[in-house]
Structure 1
Amino acid sequence: MAGFSKRDVLAAPLLGALGVGAARLGAAAAPAGAARGGPAIPAGRFDASVASLKTYQTPDWFRDAKFGIWAHWGPQAVPRQGDWYARFMYVPGHPHYEHHLKTYGHPSEHGYKDLLPLWTADRFDPDALMDKYAAAGAKYFVSMAVHHDNFDLWRSKHQRWNAVAMGPKRDVVGEWKAAATRRGLRFGVSEHLAASYTWWYPNQMYDQFWPKLGQDYDGVDPANADLYHGNRDEPYRNTPASWYTTNAAYQRHWFDRIVDLVDSYQPDLLYSDGGLPFGAVGRALVAHLYNGSIARRGRLDAVYTCKNSGSGEFHREASVEDVERGVLKGINALPWQTDTSNGDWFFNDRHPYKTTSQIVTMLADIVSKNGNMLLNVVMYPDGSLPPESETLLAELAPWMAVNAPAIHGTRPWKIFGEGPTETAAGMFSEKADYTPRDIRFTTNKDQLFAITLGEPAGTVAITALALGNPNEPRAVRAVRLLGHRGPIRFRQTGQALVIDVPATLPTRHASAFRIDFA
């Protein structure tokens, strides 16, 4: 889905070897109709300058929402092998290549284009799914609009390879938006197209061994160039700097496609899988997103989120920082977002799933540090949910029904938390085995919430609220356990605020105490 995984590093030498034949393939033709030069956008408050975009302020709806659900779902789910299938099915030696060879045939004869009709999404019911997402506490929903496979999930004006014309023959983005809007959820879209022009280079290669030695993969066929890009002048590199193409025609091609997406569905949030792409071209797109929001609502309500990963541009003041499968260190001054998944990014028969406790405790940690969690809930290729996703949503719903006041609409306290468990900061560092002694703090007006990252028993001791602590000079007046009807006994000593935990907890996974001061 995103930047670079361990398997990319392992595959890099093999892809480098494959690249020896690139010169014979010739230069790519520019996409049809792609104009050269910088794109023009209608006049508005924002323009493509860095100075203009740095006047951006994150809207309150995003700061209040805290939890969103993402459908990172599309044709790459069909083989049930997980993420980046469209790329690695063209890399001999990779498990995706071996699976494709055995299941569908050689990629010179049966390429990725031949998987697209198999994605029929015949059990896709966005309204039923959105009911579950809203009950689980999501306040915004994000539909993947186009992944690195260059297949648009909407009624695209610029790409014949789209979900309305083939596959499910449905406007997936439009149906997701309608379902989210009916339930009062904010709606977003993710675009992964910007990286596709380099990411998908292996489809231009061929086997280096018998029996298909030198036989081109189907990406070489000019008839398929508008799917596979024909990106033969973009040799493979495994560095952040090469995540995005330098080809101006491709950059304009991206701009036209994503402007169509933004104008057609008017999303509240747009996510790019990497840094802000393509310099002034990408900045013009973000300015257009922001200006359109102001024109429709009379205020800036749009969010653009991208990564500080070394690819493209990143301006913290101009967007919301996204951290893939990880968190930031401590309380960040500006709102930010973790994007993660309860399993693999696309359905994978062998991939493990996170437990509900892991999701809940990650969410509390992220919110205490001024962040949001955007959670992909894995879907089967047909649009239904695997048992692990069903269980997660069923268990999140009662937890959120009780503990939402400690999550939604909150802001960080003076410190994010305390406890014995250190959380690593940065992308791909999300694993942490928390204990009930790990506490995370959130606030809402004059109320302080202390969330235990586990199920407490006996007593909870909060050292940050000891008598004479530097964080809060007022004495504790009352303590409540969210969801518990009876009184909660406590005592404030020079060492800690000690809370007696009732024998029966109102929810599993984590508990939230509301603390009021004199």
Structure 2
Amino acid sequence: MPFTRREVFKLAGISALAALGRTSARESAGNAVGEDEDVVIQSGPFSAEQDSFKIYSCPEWFRDAKFGIWAHWGPSSAIGEGDWYARNMYMEGSRQYQYHLKTYGHPSKFGYKDTIPLWTAESFDPKALIRRYGEAGAKYFVSMGVHCDNFDLWNSRNHRWNSVRMGPRRDIVGEWREAARAAGLRFGVSEHVWASYNWWETNKGADKQGPYAGLPYDGINPANYDLYFPPHSPAREPWAEQGNESEAWKREWFLRAQDLIDQHQPDLYYEDGPIPYGRWGRPLVAHFYNQSLRWRGKLDVVYTAK
């Protein structure tokens, strides 16, 4: 069957990208992220430079996959009071605050960290669920990787607060991935933690009235800053990059997101917001695309942002 001129050029471009991917796989070092020589991305045609993304082309599988299912499931599911429970339970007078006070006690004594063991996932059967999703017509499945509660749902190399070490003590993302791939579904992950730095500053507060007035919530304890974040300048709003985020946090975000990509090799990566943090965000996308070339010999993945 003869090819059109456009198809010939497209095939040539795909072949060139695949060759670059195979070359980069043999290299021992990637490209450093800014001045951080110990933080590198996979070598390849994509880089932190915005123009490098002009060669990207959406893979055919995603163009054809009109229906996918996403599981927004994590520690707060065991409580059942909403996915913003971790934030709102520290807001005096809110519905979640009232529920927490009545059910578990005051947030100064029983904080979000103390609810994590309640999520045991004892009935979690990803194979059965994926089978039902496939029967419903889903072509891909997306597992939540980490929500704004700063709790990783895989065997995180860079964060002790994760589902393998605590809570269900299972690699939730990994089990979803294995079930989806076995059923022939494309697999994706979602990441929401970039916004947590400001989203979760409520855990540093205290009641303004009543019997607990002035008693700080448990987020003020330095022993748990790696979950709750250290104190920092106040945010203007909970869901936006605001310039007060520390470089240490941006670096941690990058390393954890990179680890999620490298361990689970998703077909799709969903960022719950814009590409974060400039010189840290674009290299992450570049790393993901370059890794696709290394894993599969072609550009076959999708990065999508809200």
Shorter-chain TM-score bucket reads 0.7 to 0.9
- What is the DSSP-based 3-state SS (H/G/I as helix, E as strand, rest coil) of the residue aligned with 1:40? strand
- 1:227 alignment partner in structure 2: 227
- 1:266 alignment partner in structure 2: 265
Q: Is the 8 A contact 1:143 1:188 kept in 2?
A: yes
- 2:135 alignment partner in structure 1: 135
- 1:415 alignment partner in structure 2: none
- 2:48 alignment partner in structure 1: 48
Distance in 2 (CA, whole Å) between partners of 1:52 and 1:244 is 26
Q: Is the 8 A contact 1:199 1:243 kept in 2?
A: no
Q: Is the 8 A contact 1:234 1:245 kept in 2?
A: yes
Distance 1:133 1:245, change over 3 A: farther
Q: Does 1:218 align with 2:218?
A: yes
Q: Is the 8 A contact 1:195 1:244 kept in 2?
A: no
Matches of residues 86-485 of structure 1 in structure 2 within 5 Å? 86-230=86-230, 232-238=231-237, 241-242=240-241, 246-307=245-306
Give the aligned residue type for 2:205.
Answer: M
TM-score of the superposed pair, with normalisation by structure 1: 0.51
- 2:84 alignment partner in structure 1: 84
* Aligned residues between the structures: 272
Distance 1:130 1:240, change over 3 A: closer
Q: Is the 8 A contact 1:195 1:243 kept in 2?
A: no
TM-score of the superposed pair, with normalisation by structure 2: 0.86
When structure 1 is superposed on structure 2, of 64-73 and 204-213 the one drifting more is 204-213
Distance in 2 (CA, whole Å) between partners of 1:218 and 1:117 is 16
Q: Is the 8 A contact 2:241 2:276 kept in 1?
A: no
RCO greater where, 1 or 2, for CA within 8 Å and sep 6 or more? 2
Distance in 1 (CA, whole Å) between partners of 2:50 and 2:104 is 47
- 1:448 alignment partner in structure 2: none
Distance in 2 (CA, whole Å) between partners of 1:42 and 1:262 is 12
Distance 1:36 1:47, change over 3 A: closer
Q: Is the 8 A contact 1:205 1:216 kept in 2?
A: yes
Pick the structure with more helix per residue.
2
Q: Report how far residue 213 of structure 1 moved.
A: 1.7
Q: Report how far residue 64 of structure 1 moved.
A: 0.7
Distance in 1 (CA, whole Å) between partners of 2:79 and 2:92 is 17
Q: Is the 8 A contact 2:155 2:164 kept in 1?
A: yes
Distance in 2 (CA, whole Å) between partners of 1:261 and 1:104 is 32
Distance in 1 (CA, whole Å) between partners of 2:243 and 2:186 is 29
Once the two structures are superposed, what CA deviation does each residue of 1:243-281 show, in whole Å capped at 9, x if it has no partner? 675321110010011111111001111111100000120
RMSD (Å), alpha carbons: 1.6
- What is the DSSP-based 3-state SS (H/G/I as helix, E as strand, rest coil) of the residue aligned with 1:304? strand
Q: Report how far residue 239 of structure 1 moved.
A: 6.8
- 1:71 alignment partner in structure 2: 71
Q: Is the 8 A contact 2:67 2:140 kept in 1?
A: yes
Once the two structures are superposed, what CA deviation does each residue of 1:134-160 show, in whole Å capped at 9, x if it has no partner? 000000000001000000100011111
Give the aligned residue type for 2:183.
Answer: R
Distance in 2 (CA, whole Å) between partners of 1:234 and 1:47 is 32
- 2:8 alignment partner in structure 1: none
Rg larger for = 1
Q: Is the 8 A contact 2:285 2:303 kept in 1?
A: yes
Distance in 2 (CA, whole Å) between partners of 1:244 and 1:122 is 41
Distance in 2 (CA, whole Å) between partners of 1:219 and 1:239 is 16
Sequence identity (%): 57
Distance 1:243 1:195, change over 3 A: farther
Q: Is the 8 A contact 2:190 2:272 kept in 1?
A: yes
Give the aligned residue type for 1:109.
Answer: K
Q: Is the 8 A contact 2:71 2:142 kept in 1?
A: yes
Distance in 1 (CA, whole Å) between partners of 2:269 and 2:242 is 19
Distance in 1 (CA, whole Å) between partners of 2:264 and 2:81 is 30
Once the two structures are superposed, what CA deviation does each residue of 1:407-436 show, in whole Å capped at 9, x if it has no partner? xxxxxxxxxxxxxxxxxxxxxxxxxxxxxx
- What is the DSSP-based 3-state SS (H/G/I as helix, E as strand, rest coil) of the residue aligned with 1:113? helix
- 2:10 alignment partner in structure 1: none
Distance in 2 (CA, whole Å) between partners of 1:225 and 1:54 is 40
Distance in 2 (CA, whole Å) between partners of 1:245 and 1:77 is 30
Pick the structure with more strand per residue.
1
Distance 1:204 1:251, change over 3 A: same
Distance in 2 (CA, whole Å) between partners of 1:205 and 1:65 is 45
